[in-house]
Amino acid sequence: MTEDDFIQAVKRNNQRLFLIALSFTKSSYDSEDILQNVFVKLWKYTKSFSNSEHIDKWLTVVCVNESKNYIKSPFRYHQNIDDCEFISNADFDNAAQLDLFNAVMGLPKKERAVIHLFYYESLSIKQIAQLLKIRDSAVKTRLSRARAKLKEKLGGEWIDE
């Protein structure tokens, strides 16, 4: 991988990967650490990629695995989402966005990741199952539970698609 390819990959994927990590960790600092680890792996990766989409998919898989390993790590500094400085500084356009963000972040870890991958990354149930290494039915169950909780938290404003 050339330096230009790497910089382009960072510019193209940094926000997306950061949000995937955030859906797992609920911490902006941890997410930035994960983001850095992911790009270190990309920079050290010696095999060539066929195209930019290949790089993006590779980064998604690495980011999910890195996030899962990160939250399992016993050395991880656990930070409560309520104490996170990130939320208060987040520049949301309206109160509805803040409510949605808080509602999503209030979901359990497993459901939160599935919701994010389904709605933000637009991955199919099958793709999510492969990515998280779980069965399709488990993805459907988590998705269903998450939607129900969001509906409850957001007062019936959540529309399933």
Partner 1 sequence: MSKKQYIETFSTLNPSEESIERIMSMTDKKRISRLNKTLIIIAVVISLLCSVGLVANAATGGAVAESVSEVVEKVSKKMTVLVNGKEEKVTVSEKIDPKDEKYYPADEKCYAAVIEVKSPDTDTKYEVLYEDAAGSEDKKYYPADEKNYAAKLESKTSDTDKESEARYEETADSDDAKNYTTEAVYNAQDIDKDMESSLDVALKGSTTKTE
Q: Which residue has the tokens 């359990």?
A: 108
Taking contact as CB under 8 A, which single stretch among the options 45-53, 75-83, 89-97, 134-142 is the one that binds partner 1? 89-97
d(CA 4, CA 1): 8
Q: What are phi and psi of 100, to 5 degrees?
A: -65, -45
Q: Are 126 and 119 in contact (CB under 8 A)?
A: no
Binder among 61, 120, 126, 148 for partner 1 (CB under 8 A): 120
Taking contact as CB under 8 A, which single stretch among the options 45-53, 76-84, 116-124, 133-141 is the one that binds partner 1? 116-124
d(CA 79, CA 74): 13
Catalog residues that contact partner 1 under the rule CB under 8 A: 3, 6-7, 10, 14-15, 18-19, 22, 28, 31-32, 35-36, 39-40, 43, 86, 90-93, 96-97, 100-101, 104, 116, 119-120, 150, 154, 157-159, 161
